[in-house]
Homo-oligomer: A and B are copies of this chain.
Amino acid sequence: MKLIIIGGGFGGLRLARRLSNKPGFEITLIDRFNYHQFQPLFYQVATAGLDASNISFPLRKVFHRSRNIRFRMAEVQQIRTEEKKLVTNIGVFDYDALVIATGADTNFFGNHSMAENAFPMKSTVEALQLRHRLLHNFEDALSVKDEAELNKLMTIVVVGGGPTGVELSGAIADMKRFVLPKDYPELDFTRMKIYLLEGTGRTLASMDKRSSEDSRRYLEKMGVTVLTDSILKDYDGEQAILQNGTVIQTAMVIWAAGIKGNVPEGIDKGLIAKGNRIRTDRHCRVIGNMDVYAIGDVAFMEEPSWPNGHPQVAPVAMQQADLLAANLRRIEMKSATASLEEFVYRDKGSMATVGRNLAVVDVPTPKLHFRGFFAWMIWMGLHLMLILGVKNRFFVFCNWLYNYVTYDQNLRLIFKEFYREKKVEG
């Protein structure tokens, strides 16, 4: 069958690899970028601990030995389900089966002022833009005399207390503790303030209560002001206004408080669930479409134990890719539909790192909670294993080792072409 996979993230890439060199499949993998992005480490790119190339892997290289997979760098414009055609900026592709694995992007919930002024971090390039602004603000601070202006430049607000927000605010706190005062000896770093805003009552709300407590305690110890039950109402580039009326003067707001599925044109609006996700059945089939599938962050599947859909994390995407690969092989071998497997998510646990030597890990069965240095080691080992490519793994390890031993992040480069001025929400 002619199979098209849109998206080379955790789900799409895994699916393509599972079907590599399998008889009967002629696969086209399409992505906007020519590389796979390792999203869990964006925050380290943003805080100058890792290089963008360390967590980006050229997709063409992955498939050097795959005879049945071709890659195309293209923007998807429309899916024409009735004609079984996919329209892109480089031409029209026919398919027998189509898999939508387009992931999710930042959701500013329609607030244009926030979209223009706050920094998102949902791509390698956005992580670099964040890094450049973060560093540039300190360069700017050197020539500022006005106290209020100076405080504003040295105040950072991270919105969203999920893993991304916790990891990012922790990494910025580590920069404040170990790196920035050495780089900018002329600045007074007691001025520097880091806020983490979370809308619910606790950080890492999707994890175990102990992880919430530990992460909050760690962050506060590291100098982050954690404000729970706090929702950002507006940000104009100078003032962050909270719903409870609090105003924080800040030149930098980082937005990690919501995502929405990247739904391509041509999908029936009636199929869109909360968070802009596409409703699928337990076979990852888009409801009412025999030949269109969706997996990963963009998909919304109801499972008895997950009535509100699965968490939008890599393991779900990868497990769905595994199931879909097996089912597509059954379909290709002309088995009856009845024999298709149904998806069951196996939650193996979740984790978040907070700072140097500090992380939290939850395992659901058997119910376990790890914290501190030991959790941090688990976190590092697991992320190293997940990174694609021996070379990237080695380089990330060397970077971590270097950063750990020297208390230094070495990649404080401002490439001006990456210096974002403005972005309007799509």
**Is A184 close to B, CB under 8 A?**
yes
Contact segment of A244-252, A312-320, A387-395? A387-395
Cβ 8 A contact of A51, one of B51, B143, B412: B51
Q: Are B418 and A135 in contact (CB under 8 A)?
A: no
Q: Are A413 and B56 in contact (CB under 8 A)?
A: yes
Q: Most chain-B Cβ atoms within 10 A of its Cβ — which of A34, A70, A418?
A: A34
Contact flags A34-74 to B (C-beta < 8 A → 1, else 0): 11000000000000000111001010110010000010110
Chain B residue, CB-CB nearest to A124? B415
**Is A374 close to B, CB under 8 A?**
no
List, in ascending order, chain B residues with CB within 8 A of A61's CB: 182-183, 408, 410, 412
Q: Are A34 and B414 in contact (CB under 8 A)?
A: yes
Q: Are B389 and A64 in contact (CB under 8 A)?
A: no
Interface residues in A, total, Cβ within 8 A: 45
Within 178-193 of A, Cβ neighbours of B (below 8 Å) are at: 182-184, 186
List, in ascending order, chain B residues with CB within 8 A of A340's CB: none
Q: Measured between C-beta atoms, what is the minimum distance from A131 to chain B in Å?
A: 11
**Is A404 close to B, CB under 8 A?**
no
Q: Are A34 and B139 in contact (CB under 8 A)?
A: yes
Q: Measured between C-beta atoms, what is the minimum distance from A45 to chain B in Å?
A: 11
List, in ascending order, chain B residues with CB within 8 A of A414's CB: 33-35, 73
Return 21 A-B CB contacts under 8 Å, by A number. Answer: A33-B414, A33-B416, A34-B139, A35-B413, A35-B414, A52-B413, A52-B415, A53-B53, A60-B183, A60-B412, A61-B410, A64-B182, A73-B414, A90-B140, A125-B415, A125-B416, A128-B415, A129-B417, A391-B402, A394-B398, A415-B418
A positions within 8 Å CB-CB of B: 33-35, 51-53, 56, 58, 60-61, 64, 70, 72-73, 90-91, 124-125, 128-129, 135, 139-140, 142-143, 182-184, 186, 389, 391, 394-395, 398, 402, 408, 410-418
User: What 10 new A-B contacts, CB under 8 Å, besides A90-B143, A125-B416?
Assistant: A34-B139, A51-B51, A52-B413, A58-B412, A61-B408, A61-B410, A64-B182, A73-B414, A91-B143, A391-B410
